[in-house]
Amino acid sequence: KGTSLLRFSLVSFRAVEKEKLEEAKGVHDAGARSRRDVDGCVKSFEKIPHTGRNGWLNLVRFWRKDYFSQLHKHQERTFRDLGPIYREHVGSHKSVNIMMPVDIGELFRAEGLHPQRMTLQPWATHRETRKHSKGVFLKNGEEWRADRLLLNKEVMMSAAVKRFLPLLDEVAKDFCQMLQARVDREGRGKEGKRSLTIDPSPDLFRFALEASCHVLYGERIGLFSSTPSMESQKFIWAVEQMLATTPPLLYLPHRLLLHIGAPLWTQHATAWDHIFSHAEARIQRGYQRLSSLPRSVSEARAAGGQYTGVLGQLMEKGQLSLDLIKANITELMAGGVDTTAVPLQFALFELGRNPQVQEEIRQQVMASWASAAGDPQKALQGAPLLKGTINVILRLYPVGITVQRMPVKDIVLQNYHIPAGTMVQACLYPLGRSSQVFQNPHIFDPRRWGSSSRDDGQKAEGSGFRSLAFGFGARQCVGRRIAENEMQLFLMHVSFRKFYRFESDIKTKYTLILLPESPPKITFRKL
């Protein structure tokens, strides 16, 4: 067995090296990607290395070894032990896991017109039991495509980004002014040179929720006041509770847990109820505000460039029913807080322990801001290191640690036959830290994602199915443009202050998204 595993690893390694050389030469034909064994035969699905055939025994092992909270590390170890592809069966969940860009590319080329990923069944069951409509995150097929194309116009297209960018910029500016006032008020040191060491995570969650609400509803909710509303604090708690209770429910018969009233299911459903209650109240206020405007006023506001938020845009166009608007706005709200606040924690930590990189970004931002004349879009375009920073953070600390697809046709990955309809997961944490994919993968270097080669002759490494934190293609994250710009604008404005990390390193855990085990403390100081 050891000899065959060694032979498999050598064949895989040589194939990967060959593929990397072919990519460098611009060779992208499918034949090079569907590699064959030395005798020209494709191996059967059953011969894919696996972590154990009995799903329920594997589930017990996951519980005992706490793999649920360290799933990203478990995947990294398993790839190291079994090679670049393996099968996993845990409870009721089955998947084939991959990590090499060449295989990920082959998977995405077989995703079809209606890409299908793993359905988060606990979420779907909540919608069904509560009689809520489903948004695009939980839909498939033609129904998904029709709704997604309408949503794209309001959240993904460049015209939409141009409309909501000033709203994100306003929130980012206000947050940084609030932060500076706090440093001046609570910091230590001489006047004008005060510094303050804090855990910024509560403030970052408030920033993310304020920014999301401003874009989605077209109004501020006042989270930067000294006494933020209990309603918003409950929403943040509910999102965290929902995320924490989802992973175990993916591997268990959740409908049985629903039937017997198990505490795990009750906690999950209660969290979703809070999320829907918060979103429903905001949507109702927005609906009443927009409905009370005479049509002529509404049209004049639109013609004058006054942005009414994603909710207002969808309602004015009337192409989605109100129930579907509610479903999608709620999904965007639930997915738009932790998924931006947490990467910003990691970004502050990495920039804090890489002061030279921080200073390089600051100089680029200051030059760009000076020439942008207050235009946030121009300011971002002139500071590409901001986008590079987000890319490298999401490579090292991907929010979602897998991207899944079910191929619509049989494919070959690592010389193994993968039948159509198989759940295949691209594992982003091992991918982002692999020395086979990135040179010096643990180095924090935003220039890695430059549009051209670096001074030392390295190839820019952000292309070719290596940067997948927001997914890929038609089924990529629908809130991608909001999240990318929200995080870049935050870093742009916060870079006008110096900050340092308090801890020397950071440990991570997984609760449907990747989090710090304990939030890093950051020291802020005015320049």
For the chain, helix (H) and strand (E) counts, in that order, are 21, 11
Contact in structure between 363 and 382 (CB atoms under 8 Å): no
Distances (CA, A) of 94 to 63, 82, 86, 101, 400: 17, 17, 11, 22, 18
Instruction: Record the tokens describing residue 189, joined without a space.
Output: 């040191």
Measured CA to CA, the distance from residue 198 to residue 209 in angstroms comes to: 20
Max distance between CA atoms of the chain, in angstroms, equals 77
DSSP assignment letter at 43: B
* Amino acid of residue 491: L
HEC assignment per residue over 273-333: HHHHHHHHHHHHHHHHHHHCCCHHHHHHHHHCCCCCHHHHHHHHHCCCCHHHHHHHHHHHH
The helix (run of H) or strand (run of E) holding residue 145 is helix 141-155
| Residue 246 pLDDT | 92
What digits encode the pLDDT tens for the residues 262-302? 999 999 999 999 999 999 988 888 888 877 777 655 555 55
* Nearest residue to 493 via CA among 211, 232, 158: 211
- Record the tokens describing residue 406, joined without a space: 């079910």
| CB-based burial label for 316 (10 Å; 0-12, 13-18, 19+) | middle
**Rounded Cα distance, 461 and 409, in Å:** 29
3-state SS, residue 443: coil
Question: 390 is written with which tokens?
Answer: 């987000």
Q: Any idea where the domains of the chain sit in the sequence?
A: 141-526
Strand segments, DSSP code E, in 180-223 are 195-198
Terminal Cα distance for the chain, rounded: 61
What's the one-letter identity of residue 319?
A: Q
Report which residue type is found at 339: T
Decide which of 1.10.630.10, 2.40.440.10, 3.30.70.100, 1.10.10.10 is the CATH code for 141-526: 1.10.630.10
- Residue 297: the pLDDT is 53
The whole model's pTM is what?
0.87
**Cα angle, residue 328 at apex, residues 322 and 332 outer, rounded to 5°:** 140
Residue type, 361: I
* Whether 488 contacts 505, CB under 8 Å: no
Phi/psi at 39 (nearest 5 deg)?
-95, 5
Nearest to 331 by CA among 374, 409, 279: 279
Amino acid letter for position 104: I
CA distance linking residue 505 with residue 497, whole number of Å = 22
Distance CA 69, CA 511 (A): 6
Separation CA 511–CA 89 (nearest Å): 19
Point out the residues of the chain with pLDDT beneath 70: 1-40, 295-305, 450-463, 502-503
477 is in an annotated binding site: yes
